[in-house]
Chain A
Amino acid sequence: MVTNTISVSETPQVLYALRRADDALILGHRLSECCGHAPTLEEDMALANIGLDLIGQARALYALAALREPSLEDGRANTEDTYAYLRDVGQYRNLLLCELPNGDFGRIIMRQFLYSAFIDPYWRAMMKSSDAQLAAIAEKAEKETAYHLRYTSEWVIRLGDGTPKSHDRMQAALEFLWSYTGEMFDTDEAEAMLQAEGMIIDASAIHDGWRTTVQTILDRATLTLPQSAWMQKGGRSGRHSEHLGFLLAEMQQLPRSEPGAVW
């Protein structure tokens, strides 16, 4: 296979946009894997819809990264597609949570719920960003994630409080995913700079509200919040699970096999 991996000049603004874009793309990609295979036609459409929203958000954020990235030495500029298709695993900046394999419908729903309960208030707060473009992206994304949160909350309740079997599956999904939730609230020096400028908010400020939302829905779903406090991390700095490489191998195969081609 021809390798034509790009290099990226990760200024704080570019890094920030790529992290959020990668979350959305990788999670959207995972949801797109379900298309045609969901438990009912209605859920097939709903998961595709959420996937489409996330891929759309990723595209807006990659476009922003491309605008903010200093041009390369040869004058070329990166695009949404070079970011998506021509970066290697270690260059991806998404949360580990987003790259985990789907598992059953219960785990898909639980992963989406845990993420949506974070990202919806996150985008709502980001609508006040001092950066007009980020504020506009946040405003559009929040309308979508509000629905994702409502949809997944309803399913968490329905399945948690459904049958003994569905309850056990949802509790197992929650236990499996729990240690991947901490990374959502992490922040680092690059982000601290942008926070100081009022461009982005501090993700850790979302934590208490997120925890309340999660607890409320889990109570209604008769599910129990896991006790484990240990949290996995690494995605934000390019240290991923084994799963992302397989996802990218599948996703990137065609453009990498024909460098420079237009599709």
Chain B
Amino acid sequence: MYTQALNDLPTPHNLEDAEKMANFQTRIDSEDRIEANDWMPEAYRRTLVRQISQHAHSEIIGQLPEGAWITRAPSLRRKAALLAKVQDECGHGLYLYAAAETLNASREALMDQLMEGKAKYSSIFNYPTMTWADIGAIGWLVDGAAIMNQIPLCRCSYGPYARAMIRVCKEESFHQRQGFEIMMTLAKGSARQKAMAQDALNRWWWPSLMMFGPPDTDSQHSDQSTRWKIKRFSNDELRQKFVDATVPQAQFLGLTLPDPDLRQDEVTGNWMYGEIDWEEFKQVIAGNGPCNQDRLASRRKAHEEGAWVREAAAAYAARQASRHAA
């Protein structure tokens, strides 16, 4: 669902062979897709493993805040749709871990990093889902922001990632429409339902803008990703696109965006937004968001409680294999 531009520094590649590097860059420049068995700079591989695994982690951690409402969804139609949506997220996690495996990073190792608190995932999932309207707001805003981030990734230079993103994006657009439809139903509903929708928008708006990562002025490490065509647009460009697409939707819903400085630029037509609280972003990334501890604890619990199942399945498979061999 949700990549986040975290702008980690790629590893220096001073040991790479210069000629191979030049050929590699030529392929990238001509929009050739790099495949799993092709030569690639070590730093390219590591950058991709980091980005794809953060994305995969975000999907499976992202199951938790929305999953919290599956048992409380207010109609059977909503219940089925939400369960299917959260299941899709699990599926996205699965494709993405598989894409990372093509780069020699195993799912087990990546998940261990997540559970040890060494890996990052999208900061947005460290906020709580307090009411049903949060499910609408997440679909509309969080999936909306994710789509902005991810559509360009369908053209990413690394083939397995780009192809995974095509399917992921199709499902995400469906989720976004579902989320908007939940918000619309609430906005047209009783006074209490409308207030619930407004409250959810108030809480999710700024964290959604943070999903695009730090401002370009603080973002010194994305040049290499851009040259490698992993990244196609800057954080601020994508954030602006998202705001421009979302403001008219909020107006259509009759809801107010929680930004007193929001105004439309007469020349460009862009919606100019107020100051983002980057300190909050840093704190959430650093593990101090309202739900960081809960999210990791849930993930670890599921993993630990499932250990006997995985061990038994492995033991059974090994025994079957030896029976067949005998």
Tell me, in angstroms, the Cα distance from A59 to B301 when the chains sit together.
Answer: 33
- Asked whether A159 is an interface residue with its Cβ less than 8 Å from the other chain, the reply is yes
Residues of A near B87 (CB, < 8 A) are 35, 44-45, 48-49, 52
A163 touches B90 (CB 8 A): no
A32, A38, A39: the one within 8 Å of B70 (CB): A32
A39 touches B72 (CB 8 A): no
- Asked whether A80 is an interface residue with its Cβ less than 8 Å from the other chain, the reply is yes
Which chain B residues in 282-326 approach chain A with CB under 8 Å?
298, 301-302, 305-313, 315-317, 319
A37, A158, A162: the one within 8 Å of B302 (CB): A37
- Asked whether A166 is an interface residue with its Cβ less than 8 Å from the other chain, the reply is yes
B132 touches A106 (CB 8 A): no
Are A36 and B71 also in contact (CB < 8 A) when A48-B83, A162-B313, A166-B312 are? no
- Asked whether A228 is an interface residue with its Cβ less than 8 Å from the other chain, the reply is no
Which chain A residues in 16-58 approach chain B with CB under 8 Å?
25, 29, 32-33, 35-45, 48-49, 51-52, 55-56, 58
A263 touches B305 (CB 8 A): no
B90 touches A44 (CB 8 A): yes
- Asked whether B267 is an interface residue with its Cβ less than 8 Å from the other chain, the reply is no
- Asked whether B78 is an interface residue with its Cβ less than 8 Å from the other chain, the reply is yes
Residues of A near B186 (CB, < 8 A) are 263
Q: Mark A162-195, 1 if CB is under 8 A from B, else 0.
A: 1101100100000000000000000000000000
Tell me, in angstroms, the Cα distance from A37 to B193 when the chains sit together.
Answer: 30
B189 touches A52 (CB 8 A): no
B222 to chain A, nearest CB (A): 30
- Asked whether A151 is an interface residue with its Cβ less than 8 Å from the other chain, the reply is no
- Asked whether A77 is an interface residue with its Cβ less than 8 Å from the other chain, the reply is no
Tier of interface size on chain B: 35 or more
A263 touches B74 (CB 8 A): yes
If over half of A's interface residues share one DSSP class (helix, strand or loop), that class is named, otherwise mixed; here it is helix
A84 touches B71 (CB 8 A): no
A165 touches B302 (CB 8 A): no
B189 to chain A, nearest CB (A): 6
Residues of A near B311 (CB, < 8 A) are 162-163, 165-166
B75 to chain A, nearest CB (A): 5
Which chain B residues in 13-65 approach chain A with CB under 8 Å?
60, 63-64
Tell me, in angstroms, the Cα distance from A56 to B77 when the chains sit together.
Answer: 9
B63, B74, B309: the one within 8 Å of A39 (CB): B309
Residues of A near B70 (CB, < 8 A) are 32-33, 35
B305 touches A41 (CB 8 A): no
- Asked whether B251 is an interface residue with its Cβ less than 8 Å from the other chain, the reply is no
B67, B132, B307: the one within 8 Å of A35 (CB): B67
Q: Which residue of A lies closest to B87 (CB)?
A: A48
Tell me, in angstroms, the Cα distance from A114 to B301 when the chains sit together.
Answer: 27
Q: Which residue of A lies closest to B313 (CB)?
A: A158
Q: Which residue of A lies closest to B303 (CB)?
A: A39
- Asked whether A123 is an interface residue with its Cβ less than 8 Å from the other chain, the reply is no
B309 touches A36 (CB 8 A): no
Are A55 and B79 also in contact (CB < 8 A) when A36-B63, A105-B309, A163-B315 are? yes
- Asked whether B217 is an interface residue with its Cβ less than 8 Å from the other chain, the reply is no
Residues of B near A131 (CB, < 8 A) are none
- Asked whether B93 is an interface residue with its Cβ less than 8 Å from the other chain, the reply is yes
Residues of B near A262 (CB, < 8 A) are 185, 189
Residues of B near A166 (CB, < 8 A) are 308-309, 311-312, 315
Q: Interface on B for A, CB 8 Å cutoff?
A: 60, 63-64, 67, 70-80, 83-84, 86-87, 90-91, 93-94, 97, 132, 185-186, 189-190, 192-193, 298, 301-302, 305-313, 315-317, 319
Q: Which 9 A-B pairs have the closest CB atoms?
A: A39-B306, A162-B312, A166-B312, A36-B63, A263-B74, A48-B87, A39-B309, A36-B67, A254-B74
**Extra contacts besides A166-B308, A251-B71, A254-B132 (5): CB < 8 Å:** A35-B87, A38-B306, A55-B83, A161-B316, A258-B190
